[in-house]
A and B are shown apart, each in its own frame.
Chain A
Amino acid sequence: DTEVTQTPKHLVMGMTNKKSLKCEQHMGHRAMYWYKQKAKKPPELMFVYSYEKLSINESVPSRFSPECPNSSLLNLHLHALQPEDSALYLCASSPRGLLGQGRDWTTNEKLFFGSGTQLSVL
């Protein structure tokens, strides 16, 4: 299994709703990432978990809450979102923790991306 699976593929929610995005990988990767991507823009890093610990939080508003229950699963809990939060949310993973970290890191390591969740906030 060489896939990163994201569910749901599409989500429409109101500003008062609570929803969750799910990301799963069974490649044994030890780092998992959440990115936000607006149309025609590059991805923006939100959070990174490395070895199931939150390693990077790019000053994301608290209405986004990440969770890493185990090494294969990454969730993004959404609450009280704003219309400007509408975007494509991408999950990614990398094999040995954060890219560039640790003495075993090599330039053969890549990010593996899911196909994303297209979120619309009404």
Chain B
Amino acid sequence: KNEVEQSPQNLTAQEGEFITINCSYSVGISALHWLQQHPGGGIVSLFMLSSGKKKHGRLIATINIQEKHSSLHITASHPRDSAVYICAVLPNYGGSQGNLIFGKGTKLSVKP
């Protein structure tokens, strides 16, 4: 069993739809990252959070530490949101500093 599981693996949406991507993890963590990777490679860090909720523009990330679950929401989705979204956790056990555990990613396609 992977330590970080994302769902769905693939997601197709129509422009304007509300999108949710889920991430569940099995280890104790210091923090959780949401990353965005466009075709061609570069990765952008969207959020890093350890509790509660963060919002940036149309993106909202929430985390429930007790349930070991996080969600990334995109409101009013747009074709430019098409990308792979990756959840990554920073474990809190000794020796894990700097070593993120990555989920396999969710490929999002938003159609006009």
Enumerate chain A interface residues (CB-CB to B < 8 A).
31, 33, 37, 41-43, 45, 48, 50, 55-56, 58, 88, 90, 92, 94, 98-101, 107-116, 118
Q: B45 at interface (Cβ–Cβ under 8 A)?
A: yes
- In the complex, chain B residues whose CB is within 8 Å of the CB of A42: 86, 88, 102-105
Q: B19 at interface (Cβ–Cβ under 8 A)?
A: no
19 CB-based A-B contacts, threshold 8 Å: A42-B102, A42-B104, A45-B98, A48-B98, A48-B99, A56-B98, A56-B99, A92-B43, A94-B98, A99-B90, A99-B97, A101-B97, A101-B98, A109-B48, A110-B33, A110-B45, A111-B100, A113-B42, A113-B44
B41 in contact with A116 (CB, 8 Å)? yes
- In the complex, chain A residues whose CB is within 8 Å of the CB of B90: 99-100
- In the complex, chain B residues whose CB is within 8 Å of the CB of A109: 48
A100 in contact with B97 (CB, 8 Å)? yes
Q: B49 at interface (Cβ–Cβ under 8 A)?
A: yes
Q: B7 at interface (Cβ–Cβ under 8 A)?
A: no
- In the complex, chain B residues whose CB is within 8 Å of the CB of A56: 98-99
